[in-house]
């Protein structure tokens, strides 16, 4: 290996010279643009291969596109996101676009930083996954680059959205538990105060869906919601609070799988068994819900489909920025496992 590595990159000019044509011609071939004959195509492609030329994305961005798509994800740890990413990358596989992930790190400030960085780098499109940012910021981003928002329920005239129907998901869980004979079904939600988020964030919708479904099953009097956070610790605290009640619930619907993990811990600590004494259900059908020793009943969000649709919408919008915004809502499915069973007695 040559330590200094000072050799200049092959440019479009080198290709043009080598193929004995103009740079314009090469550019046309690269972009499959109108005005290049089949012979021209062949000649240029050969030169490109011979020289090992690769277009410089930064330079392209100065005039045209960068062929780069940014995906903002708020939390790399969330085991639900990889599914979405697979759907996105699979859809973009055949295209010339390259995906890069921007770590949002769960905060409005961090999210703003990555999205701005994406815009600064001239990315052609942005997919934001479950953003916590304000509506205003989402619209700011969307007004400077084609944007698709995933996992937020509010719609906007400037961006497309793809989301799972959380109301329906919550209803599936409540229906499943009620069907097993449970009446005292409690819910642990992620505390939310901001009014927009109360309307748009999935966690808020799940809590709403829980309440609606309880009423629909004639269980309105047993509605019992504890507000903590979507973390293992939050689940642990929430479950402790519930188990301390004079009449503790026989089933707990945790708003997310991590929360359910905390619940399992608290239940075991109280000397109770799952599902013998308490049934537990989660949400997201993450990888560890499927693990043998855990085997958690959960709700599957069809992450792959979400990703596929998001990528599809983004490609469409990049092709036509004026078209009216589209909202796609997908249906979740219940995955019953061994943490739910009929109540005791």
Partner DNA sequence: CTGGTTTTGGGTAACGTTCCCCACAAGGTG
Partner DNA sequence: CACCTTGTGGGGAACGTTACCCAAAACCAG
Here the tokens at position 44 are: 């240029």
Measured from the CB atom, the residue of 151 and 209 that comes closer to its own copies is 151
Measured from the CB atom, the residue of 54 and 191 that comes closer to DNA is 54
Q: Where does this chain bind DNA (CB under 7 A)?
A: 8-9, 11-13, 21-27, 30-31, 33-37, 39-40, 53-56, 59-60, 62-64
- The distance from CA 52 to its chain's CA centroid, rounded to whole angstroms, is 36
Angle (CA) 71-76-80 rounded to 5° is 90
- Closest distance to DNA from the beta carbon of 16 (Å): 8
Q: How far apart are CA 240 and CA 162, in angstroms?
A: 35
Measured from the CB atom, the residue of 55 and 307 that comes closer to DNA is 55
Length of the chain: 345
Binding partner selected for residue 121 from its own copies, DNA, none, CB under the kind-specific 5 to 8 Å limit: its own copies
- Closest distance to DNA from the beta carbon of 25 (Å): 3
Full DSSP string of 36-77: --HHHHHHHHHHHHHHT----HHHHHHHS---EEEEEES-TT
Nearest to 339 by CA among 284, 287, 290, 305: 290
Q: Where does this chain bind its own copies (CB under 8 A)?
A: 1-5, 54-59, 61-62, 66, 68, 70, 76-77, 79, 81-82, 85, 89, 98-103, 105, 113-114, 116-117, 119-122, 139, 142-144, 156-158, 232, 261, 264-265, 268, 287-288, 291-294, 321-322
Measured from the CB atom, the residue of 52 and 324 that comes closer to DNA is 52
Measured from the CB atom, the residue of 9 and 247 that comes closer to its own copies is 9
Measured from the CB atom, the residue of 209 and 235 that comes closer to its own copies is 235
* C-alpha distances out from residue 273 to 201, 226, 328, 344, Å: 33, 21, 40, 11
Which residues, 6+ apart, have CB-to-CB distance to 37 below 8 Å?
A: none
* C-alpha distances out from residue 91 to 76, 97, 160, 217, 325, Å: 21, 10, 17, 40, 20
Binding partner selected for residue 36 from its own copies, DNA, none, CB under the kind-specific 5 to 8 Å limit: DNA
User: Do residues 204 and 151 lie in contact, with contact meaning Cβ atoms separated by under 8 Å?
Assistant: no
Binding partner selected for residue 246 from its own copies, DNA, none, CB under the kind-specific 5 to 8 Å limit: none
Measured from the CB atom, the residue of 8 and 247 that comes closer to DNA is 8
Binding partner selected for residue 24 from DNA, its own copies, none, CB under the kind-specific 5 to 8 Å limit: DNA
- Closest distance to DNA from the beta carbon of 13 (Å): 6
Residue 183 CB burial class (10 angstroms; 0-12, 13-18, ≥19):
middle
- Closest distance to DNA from the beta carbon of 36 (Å): 5
- Closest distance to its own copies from the beta carbon of 265 (Å): 4
């Amino acid at each position: 290996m040559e330590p200094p590595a000072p050799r200049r990159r092959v440019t479009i000019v080198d290709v043009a010279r080598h193929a004995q044509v103009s740079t314009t011609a090469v550019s046309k071939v690269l972009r499959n643009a109108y005005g290049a004959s089949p012979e021209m195509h062949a000649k240029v492609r050969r030169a490109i291969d011979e020289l090992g030329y690769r277009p410089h994305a930064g330079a392209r961005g100065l005039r045209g596109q960068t062929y780069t798509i940014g995906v903002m994800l708020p939390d790399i740890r969330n085991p639900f996101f990889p599914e979405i990413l697979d759907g996105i990358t699979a859809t973009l596989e055949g295209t010339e676009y390259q995906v890069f992930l921007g770590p949002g790190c769960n905060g409005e400030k961090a999210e703003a930083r990555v999205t701005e960085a994406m815009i600064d780098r001239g990315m052609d499109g942005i997919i934001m996954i479950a953003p916590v940012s304000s509506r205003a910021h989402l619209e700011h981003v969307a007004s400077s680059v084609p944007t698709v928002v995933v996992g937020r329920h509010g719609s906007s005239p400037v961006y497309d959205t793809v989301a799972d129907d959380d109301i329906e998901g919550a209803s599936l869980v409540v229906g499943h538990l009620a069907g097993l004979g449970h009446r005292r079904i409690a819910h642990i939600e992620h505390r939310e105060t901001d009014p927009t988020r109360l309307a748009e964030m999935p966690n808020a919708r799940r809590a709403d869906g829980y309440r609606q479904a309880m009423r629909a099953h004639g269980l309105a009097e047993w509605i019992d919601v504890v507000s903590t956070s979507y973390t293992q610790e939050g689940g642990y605290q929430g479950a402790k609070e519930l188990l301390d009640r004079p009449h503790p619930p026989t089933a707990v619907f945790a708003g997310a799988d991590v929360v359910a993990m905390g619940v399992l811990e608290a239940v075991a600590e109280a000397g109770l068994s799952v599902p013998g004494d308490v049934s537990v259900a989660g949400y997201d059908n993450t990888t560890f819900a499927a693990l043998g020793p855990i085997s958690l009943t959960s709700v599957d969000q069809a992450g792959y489909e979400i990703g596929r649709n998001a990528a599809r919408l983004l490609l469409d919008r990049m092709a036509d920025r004026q078209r009216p915004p589209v909202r796609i809502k997908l249906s979740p499915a219940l995955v019953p496992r061994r943490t739910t069973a009929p109540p005791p007695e």
